[in-house]
Amino acid sequence: EPTGTMDPITRQAVAKSVLHARKELNETFLIVSHDMDFILACCDRVGLMKGGKMVMVGTPQEVLKGFSQEDLDGDESDVCEV
Protein backbone atom coordinates (compact mmCIF):
# COMPACT_ATOMS: atom_id res chain seq x y z
CA GLU A 1 0.00 0.00 0.00
CA PRO A 2 1.85 3.06 -1.22
CA THR A 3 0.15 5.57 1.11
CA GLY A 4 -0.54 3.43 4.18
CA THR A 5 1.95 5.08 6.50
CA MET A 6 2.04 8.57 4.98
CA ASP A 7 0.82 11.78 6.51
CA PRO A 8 -1.91 13.65 4.56
CA ILE A 9 0.49 16.15 2.94
CA THR A 10 2.82 13.44 1.66
CA ARG A 11 -0.15 11.32 0.53
CA GLN A 12 -1.42 14.26 -1.53
CA ALA A 13 2.04 14.76 -3.08
CA VAL A 14 2.18 11.08 -4.07
CA ALA A 15 -1.29 11.33 -5.63
CA LYS A 16 -0.17 14.36 -7.66
CA SER A 17 2.94 12.48 -8.82
CA VAL A 18 0.87 9.49 -9.93
CA LEU A 19 -1.57 11.74 -11.80
CA HIS A 20 1.33 13.59 -13.46
CA ALA A 21 2.96 10.34 -14.60
CA ARG A 22 -0.36 9.03 -15.93
CA LYS A 23 -1.12 12.19 -17.88
CA GLU A 24 2.22 13.59 -19.01
CA LEU A 25 4.21 10.37 -19.40
CA ASN A 26 1.31 8.13 -20.44
CA GLU A 27 2.24 5.60 -17.76
CA THR A 28 0.02 2.87 -16.35
CA PHE A 29 0.14 1.84 -12.70
CA LEU A 30 -1.12 -1.16 -10.77
CA ILE A 31 -1.43 -0.19 -7.13
CA VAL A 32 -2.94 -2.22 -4.31
CA SER A 33 -4.55 -0.05 -1.65
CA HIS A 34 -7.29 0.14 0.95
CA ASP A 35 -7.12 3.97 0.86
CA MET A 36 -10.36 4.88 -0.92
CA ASP A 37 -9.52 8.61 -0.95
CA PHE A 38 -6.28 7.85 -2.79
CA ILE A 39 -8.12 5.55 -5.19
CA LEU A 40 -10.77 8.17 -5.96
CA ALA A 41 -8.08 10.81 -6.53
CA CYS A 42 -5.80 8.75 -8.78
CA CYS A 43 -7.61 5.94 -10.54
CA ASP A 44 -9.85 5.62 -13.54
CA ARG A 45 -10.30 1.83 -13.21
CA VAL A 46 -10.59 -0.24 -10.04
CA GLY A 47 -10.86 -3.94 -9.29
CA LEU A 48 -12.45 -5.10 -6.04
CA MET A 49 -11.28 -8.40 -4.57
CA LYS A 50 -13.17 -10.24 -1.86
CA GLY A 51 -12.09 -13.58 -0.46
CA GLY A 52 -9.21 -13.71 -2.94
CA LYS A 53 -11.47 -13.35 -6.00
CA MET A 54 -12.05 -10.36 -8.26
CA VAL A 55 -15.73 -9.53 -7.77
CA MET A 56 -16.05 -6.23 -9.64
CA VAL A 57 -14.11 -4.07 -12.11
CA GLY A 58 -15.09 -0.58 -13.19
CA THR A 59 -14.63 3.06 -12.41
CA PRO A 60 -14.15 3.86 -8.72
CA GLN A 61 -17.67 5.31 -8.65
CA GLU A 62 -19.20 2.17 -10.23
CA VAL A 63 -17.44 -0.09 -7.76
CA LEU A 64 -18.45 2.05 -4.78
CA LYS A 65 -22.09 2.12 -5.95
CA GLY A 66 -22.15 -1.67 -6.17
CA PHE A 67 -21.14 -2.28 -2.56
CA SER A 68 -22.11 -1.02 0.88
CA GLN A 69 -19.46 0.22 3.30
CA GLU A 70 -19.85 -3.07 5.20
CA ASP A 71 -18.88 -4.93 2.03
CA LEU A 72 -15.78 -2.79 1.63
CA ASP A 73 -14.69 -3.07 5.28
CA GLY A 74 -13.00 -6.04 6.88
CA ASP A 75 -10.03 -8.27 6.35
CA GLU A 76 -11.37 -10.00 3.25
CA SER A 77 -11.87 -6.99 0.96
CA ASP A 78 -9.00 -5.66 -1.09
CA VAL A 79 -9.19 -2.91 -3.66
CA CYS A 80 -6.71 -3.15 -6.51
CA GLU A 81 -6.24 -0.01 -8.52
CA VAL A 82 -5.89 -0.62 -12.22
Contact of 4 with 35, CB cutoff 8 Å: yes
What pLDDT, on the 0 to 100 scale, is given for residue 57? 92
Distance CA 75, CA 62 (A): 22
Distance CA 14, CA 4 (A): 12
Walk along the chain (82 residues) and give the pLDDT tens digit of each residue: 778 888 989 988 988 988 888 889 888 888 888 888 888 888 889 998 888 898 889 998 898 887 666 665 554 445 555 5
